[in-house]
Amino acid sequence: MTHGEVASAKFVCMLRMTLDFKPRASAYAIRFFLFALAALAIAHHGSAQDTPLISGGVGFFTTTNGGSTSYDPIVEPLLAAPIGQRVLIESRAYLLEYFTPKGGDQSGYNHLHYIGLSYLQGAYVASHHFTIVAGDYLIPFNTYNDRLSPIWIGNYQDGPLIANLSYSSSGSGLGGMLRGNAIQRSKYSIDYSYYYSTRSANEQFTASRGSGGRASLYLPEQRLEAGLSYDRLLQGTHENFYGAHAWWEPKDTAFRLRSEFARGQHAEGYWVEADYRTRAFGGLDSLIGRIEPVFRMQQTFRRDTIVSDGLPPMNTQRAEFGFDYNLPHNTRIITSYARQFSSTGNENVWETGIVYRFLFPAWKGKQQ
Amino acid sequence: MSSKQFIFGVLILASVSALAVGAQQNSTLATPATKHSAAQKQAARRQDEGERVFQQNCSRCHTAPEGFSPRISGTIVRHMRVRASLSQHDEEELLHFFNP
């Protein structure tokens, strides 16, 4: 394997952590993307405020690892179309190119491209206690996959090392999900989700049979959330996965502390991430207030020698120091330096990128 | 790096976090010139139920986009209703917050 091929393989592995990547054929992905567009057309009869939207992010990322720099332009569009008063059709896709040096004595770059769907789901809101989701959905195991994975939300280019430690390494399931608010009081609320995924070898919607759920407690006054996740692979060797998360976002501050722990059959790990913006120098939109230092620590442990979950093959520790800058017009510069320690060798990873978030109506729509 | 060192690092992170939050709150309290206006803003903010819903649900994961067409505000609220299991009341308040 050449250096370029090794880098490409590592990148694909990274994509699986970051983008819920599934190796689907581009033609099929485009077909289903067009299906989502058709859903938008169906939804055109909505009220003046319910025009279908197109959102997402456009990014350009660079990663330098061991003196080798790769480049990664990416687009992640999201479509959302309400139908009637209770239904929402939603889909997210990714289109990316990946350029990596050929290595050796060769000049120039190899490049790979990917197009695929992250999810395509329909949701029916019966009440805030009970929402039915059907289709290809993001698995709500812990929090990263269904909340923080979009490129315009995450503080780092890379997802955490344990991001895909659940029964489905792709991060999505094909089937149904129930979710809602079990209890809502002024001082606390409890959310739940339960999902079941069928097995599918379909090229567009590859999925494993499994089921699981998440329950979380939220204290609005303290802005504290804690939750537990569980899922189980129901094909082949049945495996259990356990997760826990804790988020703290103190009121009237722009400080956020997020953490997750996950344990699978063959490995386990955790990450803790903190980010902060100050209001002390003219608010969050001031020159200083737009600066966002970020820090993340993560550690993974192998429980045996079976490497089937996307985690590093050896016990790994990683400390990441990020420095993001929130420019006007929904644009964000994301930079970070990471030092990774493992028995296979320590390494430095430098990452720099810029992301623009877009959000606009799919068409003109009705005037109020 | 040993586990002890890593745990030590986590403790340092927690300490720095606590200091950062303390500094944020102290800086707000220790600025007389902005105290009055900040209190007014805080009072106004508390009166705005929609902003409370936004802060407690949407802002938990992402910052607010800088601006968007009112024609898609209902769609955004529907998205949040699915993701955050908003009640009908919260949905209405959030819609009002987007379209005062």
CA of B1: which chain A residue's CA is closest? A341
SS3 label, residue A272: strand
Give the least confident one: A25-39, A164-178, B38-52: A25-39
Structure tokens that stand for A189 in this block: 């609320």
Nearest to A177 by CA among A218, A141, A220, A148: A141
Cβ contact B82–A90 (<8 Å): yes
pLDDT confidence bin for B82, thresholds 50/70/90: very high
Nearest to B71 among A184, A276, A361 (CB): A361
Q: Which of helix, strand or coil describes residue B41?
A: helix
Whether A82 and B78 lie within 8 Å, measured CB to CB: yes
Inter-residue contact A179 to A216 (CB < 8 Å): no
Which chain B residues are Cβ-neighbours of A223 within 8 angstroms?
A: 56
pLDDT of residue A310: 82
Question: Which residue of chain A comes nearest to B88, CA vs CA?
Answer: A128
Average pLDDT of span A201-228: 92
Report the pLDDT averaged over residues A235-255. Answer: 93
A106-117 confidence digits (pLDDT tens) = 888 999 999 989
| DSSP secondary structure string for all residues of A212-262 | EEEEEEEETTTTEEEEEEEEEE-SSS--EEEEEEEEE--TTSEEEEEEEEE
How many CB atoms sit inside 10 A of residue A267's CB? Answer: 25
Helical pair B88-98 and B73-84, crossing angle rounded to 10 deg: 140
CA distance A280 to chain B (A): 6
| Mean pLDDT rounded to a whole number for chain A | 87
Residues of B with CB under 8 A from a CB of A: 1, 6, 9-10, 13, 16-17, 20-21, 23-25, 27-28, 31, 42, 55-56, 59-63, 65-66, 68-76, 78-79, 81-82, 85-88, 90, 95, 99
Q: Quick one: pLDDT at residue A43?
A: 53
Burial (CB count <10 Å: 0-12, 13-18, 19+), residue A181: buried
According to the model, what pLDDT value does residue B35 have?
Answer: 56
Q: Give the pLDDT confidence of A320-354 residue by residue, as tens digits.
A: 999 999 999 999 999 999 999 998 889 999 999 99
Q: What is the pLDDT of residue A246?
A: 98
- pLDDT for A48: 72
pLDDT digits (tens, 9 = 90+) for A150-161: 999 999 999 999
**In this complex, do B74 and A252 lie within 8 Å of one another by their Cβ atoms?**
no
Contact A131 B85 (CB under 8 A): yes
Between B45 and A274, residue with greater pLDDT: A274
- Going by DSSP bridges, is the β-strand pair A240-248/A254-263 parallel, antiparallel, or unpaired? antiparallel
Chain A: give the shortest CA distance to residue B79, in Å.
Answer: 7
Contact status of A184 with chain B (Cβ, < 8 Å): yes
The reply to whether residue B70 touches residue A295, judged by beta carbons under 8 angstroms, is: no
- Domain spans in chain B, listed from the N-terminal domain onward: 37-100
A180 touching B (Cβ < 8 Å): yes
* Average pLDDT of every residue of chain B: 72
Q: Does the pLDDT of residue B23 top 80, yes or no? A: no
Q: Name the pLDDT band for B24 (thresholds 50, 70, 90).
A: very low
- ipTM tops the 0.90 cut: no
